[in-house]
A and B are shown apart, each in its own frame.
Chain A
């Protein structure tokens, strides 16, 4: 049985506590004004935090060495996606060594929960979750990312090359 301890009469006289708190705030403010470099907070949005490369942020579709899309449209990411936000349309490529590729790859980021299951399911390192994390936008912004956005957006500087290349795999006899 737990007993409720009632506040004592002295504790209900709260003005000293307020003054102590105000004094602490004032002390910190003066310290920060004198030492602005040591301040732990950032002046967002002018300053932005750089997360590490393993951070699960915005999706990136990787490319092959020739710059074409790495994805083979196997739909394993779409199958694995718990939010059902990936929509792929496959098509037949002219090159028989490529055979199948996506003509449309769309991620509805408003549905995406950034779980990273797509990255885990991908057998060819075609989709990764990158360090970018700002997805906010105004009404009417494009929240459905297409291939152009996912693979060739300016931040990626021409695309990220997949570590699993088909040519290498063929040489290795896989």
Chain B
């Protein structure tokens, strides 16, 4: 293990570490653009200059490996001057677009200019004009003027997504990022290029101009998009959720996440949500509070068990809820009601084992493993065919459904709703409203539930890793978590003092100090 001295601080790093990694390890600021820990070294920005004792000239820290006894610093006047004028060269053609640039507020160029640059420009020539608002594909927009040609996005498509859509065209001043005509940037990982872009050259069509980033707060969570369970940050404010970004987790997703996972904020927002409980059937819905809906549904459920025995009720569960919620649900259903009719609703059984080689898995539920484990603990082994025969034979009087949170990953939703509403009474717990459910013929209860960002719990991912997550924000305060709904179904009360408040109030400028770190 080589020992080196960085800015007078002695640290021990693993052999093969580069100087810039040692800087990051020591927690010392160093100016850089093109280097990204998840990508190969390009050495094109020339900003991570360091002075190494015994070397006649300055070296770039990203492409220099540490040696035992190395003495490095980036605080000498020579280094500071080099970095400052290096920044000047980067900014020669960079437009003053900050007011309309989406990156403003989390821009590496802004932050590093304030920290390392802060000079008066001495460039007399006018700026080179390039194409603005270039459509690269279905998700990403390019602004060539703002690009500083760090080549991070090009390396990403080469090394990580291995799709090779992006490249650098032309020479010198006229170099531009671009795609070959007829081959747009269209894969499942495109938005990572927007994340790693240190300036506002690549922007996401989905987020473009929706919010300024300083109006957004962050909350850590786990992506519910598939069974990989990537660690994510959810960006939200008083108006709802706006975007999902990856969070470093070397065990699961590294620095990346897929575009499918990034759309999981959409069904959380108010527009898609079920706001109040509904009791009744087609054309005669009664809107009641969620807790009243859950209580009256509980009465119906327990009455059916008393009259017709425990076999007259069935529970249908999707793999979209947390382990804790499954535990309380099974405790109630198999413990209190003593019913063994628990059915696992697998949305696409044929593609469960599929994997795209990077992150996205065919099983588009976050917690299928957790559900299977809890079902095993509860000792239930009901088969889906039994549900179908039970429904057609009128054996099941009441069907309780912990329905899908993300309805877009359930292609068979309509058929399943039609099938399940064949029961005498259907109790459907879900976060989002559904038109097919509103047209259900039988007696139906719709109980609004909370989504992944509004509750705490844990998901078990495809390889059995249990990942806890915490409440980030609350969009629908009156909605219940599945555990709370279970308590109310069982006729017990929940602690109403612990209910969170919902959205509202004015948007405020939240300091985004850590957002711009490259």
Contact = CB atoms under 8 A, between A and B. Distances in A.
A100 B131 CA distance: 16
Contacts of A73: 100, 209
B96 A174 contact: yes
Contacts of B508: 84
Contact of B99 (A78, A97, A124): A124
A173 B125 CA distance: 8
Contacts of B214: 79
Given A75-B212, A173-B126, A173-B127, A97 B132 contact: yes
Nearest to A85: B506
Given A73-B100, A100-B100, A173-B127, A84 B209 contact: no
Interface string A78-95: 110000100000111000
Interface in B98-139: 98-100, 104, 125-127, 129, 131-133
Nearest to A76: B99
Contact of A72 (B99, B127, B215): B99
Contact of B506 (A72, A84, A92, A100): A84
Interface centre among B96, B98, B212 (most CB of A within 10 A): B212
Interface string A48-64: 00000000000000000
Nearest to A94: B133
Nearest to A92: B209
A154 to B, nearest CB: 29
B209 A100 contact: yes
Given A97-B132, A173-B127, A74 B99 contact: yes
Contacts of A45: none
Contacts of B210: 90
Contact of A79 (B95, B127, B212): B212
Interface residues of A, number: 21
A123 interface: yes
A174 B132 CA distance: 15
A91 B126 contact: no
Interface SS of B by simple majority: loop
B263 interface: no
A123 B101 CA distance: 13
A17 interface: no
A99 B506 contact: no
Contact of A96 (B95, B126, B133, B215): B133
B208 interface: yes
A74 B102 CA distance: 9
A124 B97 CA distance: 11
Interface in A112-140: 123-124
B505 to A, nearest CB: 9
A14 B507 CA distance: 61
A170 interface: yes
Given A79-B214, A90-B209, A100-B209, A170 B129 contact: yes
Contacts of A91: 209
A97 B100 CA distance: 11
Interface string B76-110: 00000000000000000001101110001000000
A76 B104 CA distance: 11
B96 A99 contact: no
Contacts of B132: 96-97, 99
Contacts of B517: none
A124 B212 CA distance: 17
B509 interface: yes
Nearest to A90: B209
Nearest to A123: B99
Given A75-B212, A79-B215, A91-B209, 11 more contacts: A73-B209, A74-B100, A79-B214, A84-B508, A90-B209, A96-B131, A96-B133, A97-B132, A99-B133, A123-B98, A173-B126
Interface of B: 95-96, 98-100, 104, 125-127, 129, 131-133, 208-210, 212, 214-215, 506-509
18 contacts: A74-B98, A74-B99, A74-B212, A75-B212, A75-B215, A76-B99, A78-B507, A79-B215, A92-B209, A96-B131, A99-B132, A99-B133, A100-B209, A172-B126, A173-B125, A173-B127, A174-B95, A174-B127
Interface of A: 72-76, 78-79, 84, 90-92, 96-97, 99-100, 123-124, 170, 172-174
